[in-house]
Amino acid sequence: MEMENKKIKSAKIAARTFRTAGFGVEVTLAYCENPAFRVESVGIAFGTGINSKTGNRELNSLFGTLESWLNGGIAVLPLENLGLEKLSSFEMKILCELRKRVSRGETVSYGELAKLAGFPGAARAVGTVMSKNPFPLFFPCHRVIKSGGAIGFFQGGPAGAGLKKALLDAEKMNIQWRSGE
């Protein structure tokens, strides 16, 4: 754990704000460049207009990919530059099942996701994984809702619920626009 904290402390931070479906989404990446480009964590919030200047080609390319994803241009985000080894095997199983089985514009309950991943009855554990997800958007935890259909929390608490709803609404809007509905 101490080594992981040192890695994140030495990471660089870059942020960009993207417009999607009438609102801004700020994506903040904690990344390292040596020995190779790698994203250590991702943060998202309502956009504030921050746009970091960077000469890092890989980082700029990833921001371009994120913008395309946010606007419905691509279905999934690439995982190859993420520091996934920090995830436990349970967390990885849950997050990969989410990514594989719940598409843009769809939702799943915490309990349903637990069942899909082979852990029936582990809805609370799935909630914990979602609240601690270090790579939101890459593993779209905003698509996981309560069993009764309520949005639930996002990013570990109630303050993120508005962003969660906005992301879900944006995904539905992008689908309707692309399909001509």
Instruction: Please state, in angstroms and as integers, the Cα–Cα distance from residue 172 to each residue in 21, 70, 112, following that order.
Output: 10, 11, 21
Please check the confidence at residue 1 and state whether its pLDDT lies above 50.
no
Q: What is the pLDDT of residue 14?
A: 95
Quote the CA–CA distance of 139 and 96 in Å, as a whole number: 7
Q: Mean pLDDT across the stretch 40-66?
A: 91
Between residues 5 and 72, the one the model is more confident about: 72
Residue pointed to by tokens 């994120």: 66
Please check the confidence at residue 5 and state whether its pLDDT lies above 70.
no
Q: What is the pLDDT of residue 2?
A: 40
How confident is the model over 113-139, as pLDDT tens digits? 999 999 999 999 999 999 999 999 999
For residue 163, give both structure tokens: 């962003």
Ordered by where they begin, the domains of the chain are 2-70 (no CATH), 85-179 (1.10.10.10)
Strand order in the sheet with 23-32: 12-20, 23-32, 38-46
Q: What is the pLDDT of residue 9?
A: 54
Please check the confidence at residue 76 and state whether its pLDDT lies above 70.
yes
Confidence of residue 145 (pLDDT cuts 50, 70, 90): very high
Q: What is the pLDDT of residue 66?
A: 96
DSSP annotation of 35: S
Neighbours of 49 (CB within 10 A): 9
Instruction: Please state, in angstroms and as integers, the Cα–Cα distance from residue 102 to each residue in 9, 86, 130, 144, following that order.
Output: 33, 23, 14, 9
Instruction: Please state, in angstroms and as integers, the Cα–Cα distance from residue 4 to each residue in 7, 76, 87, 126, following that order.
Output: 5, 27, 11, 23
Q: What is the pLDDT of residue 176?
A: 44
